[in-house]
Structure 1
Amino acid sequence: MELVPMSIAAIVSGSDIGAVRSVDSSRSNAAASPCTAVTSWSVSPLPNRVVTGSGSLRVRGSIVSPMEMITHPPAWDDEWTRVWSAERSNDRLQPARVVRIDKGGIQVAHEPGDDHHVVAAKAVRRVVVGDVVGVDVDAGRIETILDRRTVFERRSPGVQRDELRLDARALAANMDHVLVLQPLDGGVNPARLCRELVLAWQSGATPIVVLTKADLADPAIVAEQRARAELHAPGVPVVTISTRAGTGLESLRRTVGGEDDTTPRVLALLGASGAGKSTLANSLAGRAVALTAEVRDHDRRGRHTTTAGQMIELDASTWLIDTPGIRGVGLWASDDGLESAFVDLVPFAQDCRFDDCTHRHEPGCALIAAVDSGAVPTERLDLWRQLADEIDDLEADLEVRDRAVGREENQRARRRAARRGIPQDPGETGDQL
């Protein structure tokens, strides 16, 4: 009997709300919101195949349940198979990859290369593009989120330090490389480059710096800017490309894939609006997969052409996560990322007289001595100080938030006790903090 995978497109109904249960216990502080359950189905059956009301597939008189169909989501490998076998909670669940999130909902792919294998539901903040999830295909609902190998996240924008909403905002998950884009038409921006490298390293993925729009700059300027990028990206590959001229793309592919063209890999794009992310995605895919727009002439800033995160298949083994351009990139829990991005300063810092040296005014600071001798550029130390200060401020903000959360929880506990007529000892409520 010949079996053909089922094609499913789910229509969102706002009447049923079901919670998304995450197995990513290491990130329990991340914001979560409910996921709308899918209560009505729109199915495009294949010839001679009928989808039953239970979601099973009838093929030439036989009934095949969804779990009897073997699915391999995009960028699936043996390790995902092992994790899925260990985490799968019931036989109704099928593995899937989140391939698109926008205002219309969440789309997941059960198999690569088939756009019909998607489930749409209202956006859930906890789910991001690249997540590997367990989907109950009968209910049309995401039930689990598998532990993320890597996750790119930043501080939630526009949130003050004393607000309970202060938290991380994840943008992409389970990528192997982060392509950090810097356009050459405006020159390399060291401050932004270092900031994005901190976030890329902190994600757990491997960063690659991509200098775009090389055709818009004089060759001498390109060489100068490349040297500038290499200075601020120690140990990170730097690739110069021009999508218009078609140069540098093969070098980028080799840098990403190495000698192995068959191992599944996922790339994520990071860069400001106008950095050329969508154009690069189209060039790597060899087809139009993302909208593009010209940058503004007066300030060289781009327009937001990518308004939804999406995962794009480039070839049989490579996928690309294209995220909306972001102008503000706030750091989040970035101590390890800071050290990796400034690995060139580490040997000097280890020779400081004091273990808790802040590298500002302490006697015996080897890093300041290295700057004075010219071994370390002053700009490198200045950028490190700026980012280190931001991380320190974030830690202080989180302490303020945690105290506010504690007060809020105590107040709720008192209200619950009052409703039950239970006397409260003011000293136990924490209101005197």
Structure 2
Amino acid sequence: MQRRELGWDDTWEETWADACRPGLVPARVTRIDKGGLSVDGADVSFGRQLIVAGKKARDAVVGDWCGLDPDTARIELRLPRRSVLERRSPGADRDDLALSAKAVAANLDHLLVLQPLDVGVNPARLVRELVIAWESGAQPAVVLTKSDQVDASALAEARAAAGAAAPGVDVVAVSNLTGHGLHELRPLLRPGITVALLGASGAGKSSLVNALAGRRVALTGNVRESDLRGRHTTVTGQLLALRDGGLLIDTPGIRGVGLWRAWDGLAMAFSDVESVADTCRFEDCAHTGEAGCSVVDAIEADRLELYRSLSAELTRLDEQLEIRTRDVQRETNQRSRRKAQRRRPPT
């Protein structure tokens, strides 16, 4: 594909002019496998050879624009991201130096947050995913999948529940089987625009990818009857060209949605809470029943509890990161002192 078809524009051209090095050409990462990366838009062909990321681009993910050395098939730099979908690395805690963010996709324009209707809208997960979506810098939309599996009454209830959990966000109900509602997503899939999907395994991501692409590009799998969880049919991220000229990043389904430094995302996902909070009597109101608290009176108890829970989680994360930073700094200082002592001449 040509770079313009991959989302390259005048702003990227300016960024490239500031960051590029002689001999490099811009290219976009379209797929990541264990053996390396695949790129497109570089006006060079490597056949089936995978690209190797140099030291300054080892954190590249699908959707990144990079500087490629066509002679060595190495990515030598990564351009600054406009947006990035990331979550907390699973299984990390304060004693684990793996406490970090895991980037999933980069340079997104829209992020579709999927909720499957066969099991019903999960407000707690939806809100958590919306916090991540807003924090990414992309514009989120909620997509209720498998609408063919519910009746009109249940669909209306699901729309209302999703709308309450996602104020100010478009909610679209689709069926990959019948094609119902897919036309409502077409305005988001304009040429050069990049869209990604976020949802649990079994939410119908792979089927939606195939429906939007107009061809079979992703494997689909059944949902286990024992626990209604889907099997991971997408095991690697990839950027796909859609029939209308848009671009879609298909990412593996995730069961755990760990937040990572998402205070801005929290504020945008709970814009209703934040706007009412400005009228509270005290600036440091915790919204737990203080005198003059406007939030408790205006926001439903379940939604306010979700806000408190996510806020507490982000606070704990900040505390964990602060502790780790102090521990790392202490270890660094100790190593420096030991080196200085070894260099000191004997008395």
**TM-score class normalised by the smaller sequence:** over 0.9
Tell me how far 1:156 sits from its aligned partner. Answer: 1.1
Match in the other structure for 2:314: 391
| Contact preservation (8 Å) 1:181, 1:211 | yes
Shift of 1:72: 5.2
Task: Quote the RMSD (CA, aligned, Å).
Answer: 2.2
| Corresponding position of 1:106 | 37
CA contact (8 A) 2:35 2:50 kept: no
Task: Give 1:303's aligned amino acid.
Answer: R
Answering whether residue 20 of structure 2 is matched by residue 88 of structure 1, we say yes
- 2:251 equivalent to 1:318: no
Deviations 1:204-230 (A, max 9, x none): 100010000011112211111111001
Q: Structure 1: which 5+ residue stretches go unaligned? A: 6-69, 371-375, 424-433
Map of 2:163 onto structure 1: 230
Contact persistence 1:73–1:96 (CA under 8 A):
no
- Select 1:246's aligned residue among 179, 203, 223: 179
AA of the residue aligned to 1:391: L
Given that 1:73 and 1:109 are in contact with CA atoms closer than 8 Å, whether structure 2 keeps it comes out as: no
Within the alignment, does 1:157 sit opposite 2:80 as a pair? no
After TM superposition, give the deviation of residue 327 of structure 1 in Å. 0.5
Q: Structure 1 216/88 Cα, relative in aligned 2: closer, same or farther at 3 Å?
A: same
Segment of structure 1 superposing worse, 307-316 or 328-337? 307-316
Pick aligned residue for 1:292 from 193, 196, 220: 220
User: Normalising by structure 2, what TM-score?
Assistant: 0.93
Of 331, 334, 338, the residue aligned with 1:408 is 331
Q: Does 1:277 align with 2:205?
A: yes
AA matched with 1:173: A
Instruction: Judge conservation of contact 2:26–2:42 (CA < 8 Å) in 1.
Output: no
Is 1:97 equivalent to 2:28 in the alignment?
A: yes
1:336 aligned to 257, 260, 264, which one?
Answer: 264
The structure in which a higher percent of residues are helix is 2
Structure 1 letter corresponding to 2:34? K
How far apart are 1:417 and its partner, in Å?
2.6
Equivalent residues in 2 for 1:339-358, closer than 5 Å: 339-358=267-286
AA in 1 matched with 2:247: W
- Compared with structure 1, are the counterparts of its residues 303 and 141 closer, same or farther at alpha carbon in structure 2 (3 Å cutoff)? same
1:79 is aligned to: 11
Q: 1:316 offset after TM fit, Å?
A: 5.7
Report the counterpart of residue 138 of structure 1 in structure 2: 71
Aligned to 1:429: none
* 2: CA distance, partners of 1:405 / 1:362: 39
For residue 81 of structure 1, what is the amino acid of its counterpart?
E
Contact 2:51 2:75 in 1 (8 A): no
Separation of aligned partners in 2, 1:198 and 1:328: 14
| Matched letter for residue 411 of structure 1 | Q
CA–CA distance in structure 1, aligned partners of residues 226 and 176 of structure 2: 23
Tell me, which stretches of 5 or more residues in structure 2 are unaligned?
none
Q: Distance in 2 between matches of 1:277 and 1:115?
A: 30
- Closer, same or farther in 2 for the Cα pair 1:195/1:219, shift >3 Å? same
The structural deviation recorded for 1:125 is 5.3
Cα distance, 1:362 vs structure 2: 2.2
Report the equivalent of 1:327: 255
The offset of 1:340, in angstroms, is 0.5
Deviation (angstroms), 1:121: 2.6
| Equivalent-residue separation in structure 2 for 1:296 and 1:409 (angstroms) | 49
Equivalences, count: 344
TM-score between both structures, scaled by the size of structure 1? 0.75
CA distance in 2, matches of 1:303, 1:403: 40
